[in-house]
Structure 1
Amino acid sequence: MTVTEAKPAKLVVEGLCKRYGATTALEPSSLSVAEGEFLTLLGPSGSGKTTLLQLICGLVEVSEGRVVIDGRDQSATPVHQRDIGLVFQHYALFPHLTVAENIAFPLKMRGRPGAEVAKRVSDALAMVHLGHLAGRFPRELSGGQQQRVALARCFVYQPSIILMDEPLGALDKKLREHMQIEIKRLHRESGSTIVYVTHDQEEALAMSDRICLMNHAKIEQLGTPREIYERPRTAFAADFIGISNIFRGRWDGNGSLETAHGRFALPNGAHCESRDAALVIRPENLRLGALDGNAVNGRVSEIVYAGSETRVIAALEDGSQLVLRLGPDDAVPAIDEAIVAGWPRDKAVLVA
């Protein structure tokens, strides 16, 4: 049972829209976030993901639609009254306050008793593994430690929803991966509802219960990481999430797609809203040699060894590229070697 099936909706966005004069920053959009869910808003720059986040928390005024939290319309509620926690890319820690004082700040602003503040700060420090640094100032911490303080400061007052806008964008790759694990752990231990913004596809796949993929100021596809990766609904979704081999052509309305590289057999029951369609094959589903009558000819232009896999890049006759992922026991062709690659028909996806 998934999070969305097991729990009621915490946040509901109904036809939410934002316009700036003649410019539409977010087309009317609707989605529901379950209590305790980790939903990621993913997309390229200008796709509308940050605008959607800002509308949810009240940083910008709604043009149309509603923001419903715990069954109550909060569309016109000021930011400070929405019981929403915010974590941004820039940590915004108070430089003159210690780690413990930074974490205690939101509790003191809400007039919590001193004993409660001390207990919650202690618990938050333990949660982010920073108890030994409670007396230090932000300037004495690493980037990862500062980010953990920012997370603790948000989690400590137990907001109804936590919104994160690219919080790991300023960190290096190794530290980002470490903090991804930390945020997942904090989410699991706290049971918080999190809406997370990123343009990093790997980050979204690694962290999310569901992904809301956005493009051109609207929702392109909403689903679990596995659904979006394995069953993209559009060529954009296939191309943006992971690496894809995409063959565009004309669907015959039945079981094949005619392309510049030949006629390809489609999975049983494949259907598309348009006759102008595309076939998507992930690199790990390609094999050397024809399969199910599907085959393309190419010449190896590059080989990339990545430990657990070897990535083979081949140039096709029209100048486009084909990418295959071979396992450690697979034979690897040589540079400039002519190859034939195929795939099982049920491993491809027909998209608009």
Structure 2
Amino acid sequence: MERQSGGGLGAVQRLGAPLSQAKLRIDGIAKRYGPVVALEPVSLEVRTGELMTILGPSGSGKTTLLQVICGLVEPDGGRLFIDGHDRTAMPVHQRDIGLVFQNYALFPHLTVGENIGFPLKMRGRPAAEVRERVAAALAMVQLGHLAARFPRELSGGQQQRVALARCFVYQPAIILMDEPLGALDRQLREHMQIEIKKLHRETGATIVYVTHDQEEALALSDRICLMNHARIEQVGTPQEIYAHPRTTFTASFIGTSTLLRGVVEGDALVTPLGRFALPEGRLAGAAALVIRPEHLRLGAGENTIEGVVSETVYAGAETRLLFDLADGTTAVLRLPTGMAAPEIGTAVQAHWATDAAVLVPL
């Protein structure tokens, strides 16, 4: 990431500019704690100017990977490169990495302006430069009018913006965010997601963002690194991971899916519920068809399943219909706007177009 000399934060990457070479490269990094495998050997590249989300459930290895990147944990194997230089053994304070935590970690005895300027003062920057950069950072997060207040006088969202500004102000090579919005309510969390996207776009910073919230990952990311059982499950854009999951875990963790399990025989998947036509991308052996709720339609059609309505879920913009199939699978479809949901206990049929499903191995 190209740095600016002097004060100010200005954009360091033009909007729409292509992401360039890897800012961060992880090559076979692994970590164990005695018999417990915290991180299988994993390899990953984060491009310059990219917002990469590390996503996964508790115990998937995402926090261990973050700690290895920032130098808080020493890996048992593999190498870590920043800007092409090996930084595996480099101590935390020399890695030029900024951290944003869930609890904000603001200094209660310092004002907003002093909190933001702290990283620059610790680096011995001239007072005039500190004032200029702090003013630019405050303007960036729209908190210039609160510079003289203390953290206790701010709302949760304002404190989070101060924490973001403090990290962005000294333009580190990489910014790591560890579940920074986890303590906020839903409405404020969604607002802060937009703020982070704006800051990322305006500054061109390289950001690694850790979360267990799949909706947050879909909303924020240039790419997602999905982790499961201490290894990488799939890496791709939000659209790629949602529309083209490569495993049943990805299909289940990212969004909602109906999974029909069976065995591939010729051009069909043979299941306890019947034979279903295969989409492109054939596999052999045990496999599953993944059908997203928006691709299921009520009534018989090209590929048809039957079940009994077990629940309806109203979510404002949509209503989801859940119905149980004969093999114990629960199928989910999205009802058209304005359509009344069948009553619980009603027998229903649903169908999907063959090419709308995705075939994944079991």
Q: Return the TM-score normalized by structure 1.
A: 0.95
CA distance in 2, matches of 1:217, 1:176: 27
**CA positional deviation for 1:255:** 1.6
Q: Deviations over 1:106-153 (max 9, x none)?
A: 000000000100000001001111111111111111111111111100
| Correspondence 1:290 to 2:303 | no
| Correspondence 1:262 to 2:271 | no
* SS of residue matched to 1:46: coil
Q: Deviations over 1:286-335 (max 9, x none)?
A: 0012222x111112222223333221111222333111102215464333
- Do the aligned residues in 2 keep the contact of 1:3 with 1:34 (CA within 8 Å)? no
Amino acid at match of 1:310: T
* SS of residue matched to 1:15: strand
2:217: which partner in 1?
204
**CA positional deviation for 1:215:** 0.3
1:23-172 mapped onto 2 (5 Å cutoff) = 23-172=36-185
CA distance in 2, matches of 1:6, 1:173: 31
Match of 1:195 among 200, 208, 214: 208
**CA positional deviation for 1:4:** 10
1:305: which partner in 2?
314
CA distance in 2, matches of 1:196, 1:307: 29
1:321: which partner in 2?
330
CA distance in 1, matches of 2:130, 2:202: 20
CA distance in 2, matches of 1:139, 1:6: 39
Amino acid at match of 2:97: I
CA distance in 2, matches of 1:6, 1:78: 28
1:236: which partner in 2?
249
CA distance in 2, matches of 1:160, 1:341: 51
- Do the aligned residues in 2 keep the contact of 1:3 with 1:209 (CA within 8 Å)? no
Match of 1:224 among 215, 237, 243: 237
Question: What is the root-mean-square deviation in Å for CA atoms of aligned residues?
Answer: 1.5
Q: Which segment is superposed worse, 167-176 or 334-343?
A: 334-343
1:335: which partner in 2?
344
Q: Which segment is superposed worse, 310-319 or 196-205?
A: 310-319
- Structure 1 residues 4 and 117: CA distance shift in structure 2, 3 A: closer
- Do the aligned residues in 2 keep the contact of 1:4 with 1:33 (CA within 8 Å)? no
Q: Which segment is superposed worse, 307-316 or 21-30?
A: 307-316
* SS of residue matched to 2:345: coil
* SS of residue matched to 2:171: coil
Amino acid at match of 2:310: S
CA distance in 1, matches of 2:22, 2:99: 20
* SS of residue matched to 2:218: helix
CA distance in 2, matches of 1:174, 1:255: 47
1:7: which partner in 2?
20
**Identity over aligned residues, as a percent?**
69
- Do the aligned residues in 2 keep the contact of 1:256 with 1:265 (CA within 8 Å)? yes
- Do the aligned residues in 2 keep the contact of 1:4 with 1:34 (CA within 8 Å)? no
- Do the aligned residues in 2 keep the contact of 1:3 with 1:37 (CA within 8 Å)? no
Q: Deviations over 1:184-223 (max 9, x none)?
A: 1110111000000000000000000000000000000000
> Which structure 1 segments of 5+ residues have no match?
none
Amino acid at match of 2:73: V
**CA positional deviation for 1:62:** 1.6
| Correspondence 1:250 to 2:260 | no
Amino acid at match of 1:30: S
* SS of residue matched to 1:295: strand
CA distance in 1, matches of 2:149, 2:297: 55
CA distance in 2, matches of 1:128, 1:260: 56
CA distance in 2, matches of 1:241, 1:98: 40
- Structure 1 residues 250 and 181: CA distance shift in structure 2, 3 A: same
Q: Return the TM-score normalized by structure 2.
A: 0.93
| Correspondence 1:281 to 2:291 | yes
- Structure 1 residues 100 and 194: CA distance shift in structure 2, 3 A: same
- Structure 1 residues 336 and 45: CA distance shift in structure 2, 3 A: same
CA distance in 2, matches of 1:4, 1:120: 24
2:11: which partner in 1?
none
Amino acid at match of 1:165: D
